[in-house]
Amino acid sequence: IQIEHYLDADPERPEAYARFRKRMHRFQQGEYDQWATVAVDSATYMELMARKQSQYVDKKGTREPRQWYADSTEWLEEMLMVRFGSLPMNVVVLCHVDEDKDELFGTFVRNPKAPGRLRKGISAGYGEFYRQYMYIEKDAQNRVIDRRAVFQTMADGSFNAMSQLGAPDNCDANYAALWVGNE
């Protein structure tokens, strides 16, 4: 296990996203055999770091702030859909839940939150995507008798989710539970 942290303490002097991009380039140049999983927490913070890179470095003199958002969306599309999508290992990208709902098979569901053009397409880039939530069961006296984190792996009337592996829906939120029945 190796944890790397890319966040700028001073957003007006950004370097985090540039360092992250360089790290991902080095990662793809020969570390595949050293890792089983790569994870990003979260797309929200990645977008913010990319936007600050554009705002204070790449497009510092622009009078058009929409360019910063365009750059960050473009860079995240490249990273999340192309670079991460081509990795020969488990890829985990944490996203917040989008407040807006999209239509899916005649119902309106919430999707992973992503910037710009990724908003409607990030889930299409991954064969597995889940929503994690807290399952809470109470007894007749309203006392909690079971509380645990679970993965929603199939779409319902509220949230979009998907599993091509056949991971059980509403299973415990751990890697081994995703494979129950798929051994």
Each residue's pLDDT tens digit in the chain (183 positions)? 899 999 999 999 999 999 999 999 999 888 888 999 999 988 889 999 999 999 999 999 898 999 999 999 999 989 988 888 888 888 888 887 766 665 555 666 777 777 776 766 676 677 788 989 999 999 999 999 999 999 999 988 788 888 988 999 999 999 899 988 766
Task: Give the amino acid at 37.
Answer: T
Largest Cα–Cα separation, the chain = 63
Instruction: Please tell me the predicted confidence (pLDDT) of residue 159.
Output: 83
pLDDT on residue 57: 96
**Residue 105 confidence (pLDDT):** 54
Cβ proximity of 128 and 164 under 8 Å: yes
C-beta separation of 123 from 53 below 8 A: no
Q: Alpha-carbon distance 177 to 150, whole Å? A: 10
Position 160 scores a pLDDT of 81
Rounded Cα–Cα distance for residues 152 and 172 (Å): 9
Give the other-Cβ count within 10 Å of 47's Cβ: 22
* Amino acid symbol at 17: Y
- Which of 23-27's residues contact partners 24+ apart within 8 Å by CB, and which partners? 24/79, 24/83
**CA distance to 28, 125, 126, 175, per residue, from 22 (Å):** 10, 22, 23, 29
CA distance 55 to 69: 9
Two tokens, residue 115: 């910037």
**Beta-bridge mates of residue 38:** 91
